[in-house]
Homo-oligomer: A and B are copies of this chain.
């Protein structure tokens, strides 16, 4: 082990000057951090998780661009498959995307009987759509993604994720999810899934009360929302705010769940699950289990989600339970 480590360090030293030259010569023109922390590696550094960095070794950079909203990068990693990065933050890797996409989708959709109309806010990679499409009861899937470059890049580099766009029930709108929801007819959706980036930056509005009010308005009575809600290890303060906001807006159930995702900061991500006033939703006990046999043949079998892990996702470590439970309904 020591030998291999030293070898990596040695390579690191030797490549340093070369990489400095590359940066100066404009080989990392989008500032995506390639080769600049560990040479030949992508390192995720952010004030959202100060003092730590997760790095993946790059085999090949496949795409770099800058849209109207963000920097977009795709690279082939040596051990996590292809990786999608937005503004320097890993959004998905082929190796572990199953955990996030399956959980953010089936936690809400398996908690209600016969979901028919679903809205996805964000989720431009198509992975949530792929998961929604497993539910045969669904008639209409709307998606509102702000950045067309994310959609196009996913279709080109992540066909097994973007396969979700092929479902004929899907209608894609490129635009602002906040505005889309405000304009949506009241009581339209059985479920709204918010697949957003972190709440510091462009997605901040998606974690605030006015947005949650729009979501609640667009849901039918007893309809459900699921939104990504950070990590209990890193952002307990943000989570407490989200739970408080949701509790003021949603008059049904308000629960927090989490799952393991190795390439997200702290190796996990949480979800906020809320329901509107109406038929009671018991998020912890799925009433609409999804069996592998039921999933469409065009879609790969479920890799991560099952009914047991659905219920387990709501069990919190004591330090988080003490802070969250008092705020849940």
A36 in contact with B20 given A52-B57, A317-B304 (CB within 8 Å): no
Q: Which of B9, B77, B260, B304 makes the CB contact (< 8 A) with A260?
A: B260
A41 sits at the interface (CB 8 A): yes
**Docked complex: A7-49 residues within 8 A CB-CB of B:** 8-9, 12-13, 16, 20, 23, 31, 33, 36-38, 41, 43, 45-49
Task: Give complex CA distance A1, B203 in Å.
Answer: 13
Contact, CB under 8 Å: A12 / B31: no
Picked from B13, B53, B305, B313, the residue with its CB within 8 Å of the CB of A36 is B13
Q: Is A4 an interface residue (CB 8 A)?
A: yes
Point out the residue from B48, B53, B80, B318 that lies within 8 Å of A306, measured CB to CB: B318
Q: A233 near B: Cβ within 8 Å? A: yes
In contact, A80 and B52 (Cβ under 8 angstroms): yes
User: What separation, in Å, do the CA atoms of A55 and B45 have in the docked complex?
Assistant: 10
Q: State the CA gap A258–B303 with chains docked (Å).
A: 17
CB contacts (< 8 Å) of A311 on chain B: these are 312, 315
Indicate whether A183 reaches chain B with its CB closer than 8 angstroms. Answer: no
Surface stretch bound by B, among A125-133, A206-214, A261-269: A261-269
Contact A51 B79 (CB under 8 A): yes
Contact of A20 among B2, B13, B260 (CB under 8 A): B13
Looking across the interface, which residue of chain B has its beta carbon closest to that of A307?
Answer: B315
List which A39-73 residues lie within 8 A (CB) of chain B.
Answer: 41, 43, 45-57
Interface flag for A174 (CB, 8 Å) = no
Given A5-B88, A41-B53, A51-B56: A233 touches B96 (CB 8 Å cut-off) = yes
CB of A52 within 8 A of CB of B51, answer: no
Q: How far is the CB of A64 from chain B (nearest CB, A)?
A: 15
Q: Is the CB of B319 within 8 A of A306?
A: no
Chain B residues with Cβ below 8 Å from A321 are 306
Extra contacts, 15 of them, besides A268-B268, A303-B319 (Cβ < 8 A), are A2-B87, A9-B37, A37-B38, A38-B53, A41-B53, A50-B79, A51-B80, A52-B57, A233-B260, A260-B317, A267-B268, A305-B318, A309-B315, A312-B312, A312-B313
